[in-house]
A and B are shown apart, each in its own frame.
Chain A
């Protein structure tokens, strides 16, 4: 049994009396000590999936409309809100994209770590403070004894994100969800933060879900990858399998779109068109208007997700009937 089992997750958004599906049929497992990457462009539903797992959808126009989430053997959706809150921040923690807005500017960073510690553990103020300093040292904040009394604005962007990681790790969570944790950071800082996360994982065995739009980040950090397009998983596999044998035209197009630093390309193989709008009805494959391999049937019948090999899932009518590999993509 995996640590986290997500099955047929569905999220809808309520607009004008109707509920439009924005996340559909998402299923995946995350094991201990494993990093799962969820990759996709804005609006593909990757962040909503993580919010649904954390139970953070309530109170907005969004709602969970189906599926099950089992964490550590217990059905999260069957728990009372109170019991769920007890798990959140303790056994499950989350890191957000913008470290400046996710830290409260009027409290010292130490106090914010101490608060989350004392919420879940019976600790004295002194014990909690000692642990906070320990955590800051763990995430390699220089001079943690002094920094524990700093305010968020006195830290750099990279340091703030490290503090967020320290807060997330405070209670030794089994699962850490990181939603674009390095997108707001410079590349040199990004590398440090990602290395730190992986290093901590090695020591603690925490499972990580890393959400990113950056295939490079995913490739370097994840064991398994889920590629999402318009609310559905279009391809998923072990990282090595996926990057050596991309089978969905969208994944291939995404890879071909990236200008790489290591060699020159005259023209990028851009995917034509744009992501469909939320209220556009596409009876067939959601990617078919942008797919250069699309056949007539792609417009009418939705493809099912099938295994093309062990662990390699592809949602496409013709996963094998066209040239595969990195070269294929849409027309420029």
Chain B
């Protein structure tokens, strides 16, 4: 309970971040309750009503197959959350482990971190494109590829933090108590990395939305039949003049989500800043 209250305390007095949090909640609710909320089946098409303008009963209009845009957007939220959470999980677990191990064992670090450096030399999107080109389009592969791309930055950050933490006196003290390597890494160092990991998670979540949309748009992301915001953009891009709402709605959803997660991440990072953490004990 106290973890939740202290998390919510971050948002006190930060209006933009609070807005971000609310938007995130809306997206999550939409994702969970998409089958209940969607007025139509997102895959059902009706050629009679293709490209109809926003109105009733198609609030967001329909696409060139005559599918309901609102329903597709709601199921798209599902994809957004799934890809966000999935790539965060992949990036933090692989990148985190690589970073921590590399910092802890200098010899391992020489090898692993050089590998990370090589991967980081490629722009994120290019790296994702190359990896996706090698794999077939699927939800799982998209998650893995985006996760791997951001595992590199996560590894870099955790490498630096672990390097600092492993020289802390309490780590020496644990060593003197007889603690083994695994215990020092996971019981003593890792709990001190939770806050920076959470910040990193929110940024990865934000960027994963952009990456996924870009991959979809280039036809290398999710399979085309899957309703996602990126696919909606990609499929309807030629109708930008005839039916601009088909691009405005998913585009706005992507921008809002990326923006929101960035705001949340900024707020969390600020609250991490030691200057704000200083308590009265030092006076």
Contact = CB atoms under 8 A, between A and B. Distances in A.
Interface residues of A, number: 8
Interface string B253-283: 0000000000000000000000000001001
Contacts of A22: 283
A39 B280 CA distance: 21
A13 B281 CA distance: 12
Contacts of A43: 283
Contacts of B283: 13, 22, 43, 48, 61-62, 278
A261 interface: no
Contacts of B280: 13, 15, 61, 278
Interface size class, chain B: under 10
Nearest to A13: B283
Nearest to A20: B280
B13 to A, nearest CB: 14
A291 to B, nearest CB: 24
A326 to B, nearest CB: 31
A137 B283 CA distance: 36
Contacts of A62: 283
Interface in B150-188: none
B275 to A, nearest CB: 11
A62 B283 CA distance: 9
A13 B280 CA distance: 9
B281 to A, nearest CB: 9
Nearest to B279: A15
A13 to B, nearest CB: 6
A210 to B, nearest CB: 21
Contacts of A278: 280, 283
Contacts of A13: 280, 283
Interface string A245-262: 000000000000000000
A62 B280 CA distance: 11
A41 to B, nearest CB: 14
Contacts of A61: 280, 283
Contacts of A48: 283
A13 B283 CA distance: 9
B6 to A, nearest CB: 16
A43 B282 CA distance: 8
B227 to A, nearest CB: 49
A48 B280 CA distance: 13
A41 B283 CA distance: 12
A22 B281 CA distance: 12
Contacts of A15: 280
A124 B283 CA distance: 41
B88 to A, nearest CB: 35
A80 B228 CA distance: 63
A250 to B, nearest CB: 20
A15 B279 CA distance: 10
Nearest to B283: A13
A22 B280 CA distance: 11
A200 B283 CA distance: 32
A217 B59 CA distance: 81
A13 B282 CA distance: 12
Interface in A1-55: 13, 15, 22, 43, 48
Nearest to A15: B280
Nearest to A22: B283
A109 B23 CA distance: 54
A292 B280 CA distance: 29
Nearest to A48: B283
A15 B280 CA distance: 8
A43 B283 CA distance: 7
A22 B283 CA distance: 9
Interface in A257-286: 278
Nearest to B278: A61
Nearest to A11: B283
B82 to A, nearest CB: 42
A61 B283 CA distance: 10
B278 to A, nearest CB: 10
A274 to B, nearest CB: 13
A43 B281 CA distance: 9
Nearest to A279: B280
Interface string A205-230: 00000000000000000000000000
A15 B283 CA distance: 12
Nearest to A47: B283
A70 B283 CA distance: 25
A61 B276 CA distance: 12
A84 to B, nearest CB: 23
Nearest to A45: B283
B210 to A, nearest CB: 39
B276 to A, nearest CB: 12
11 contacts: A13-B280, A13-B283, A15-B280, A22-B283, A43-B283, A48-B283, A61-B280, A61-B283, A62-B283, A278-B280, A278-B283
Query: Which 7 A-B pairs have CB atoms at the shortest separation, nearest pair first?
Result: A13-B283, A278-B280, A15-B280, A22-B283, A13-B280, A278-B283, A43-B283
Given A15-B280, A61-B280, A278-B280, 8 more contacts: A13-B280, A13-B283, A22-B283, A43-B283, A48-B283, A61-B283, A62-B283, A278-B283
Interface of A: 13, 15, 22, 43, 48, 61-62, 278
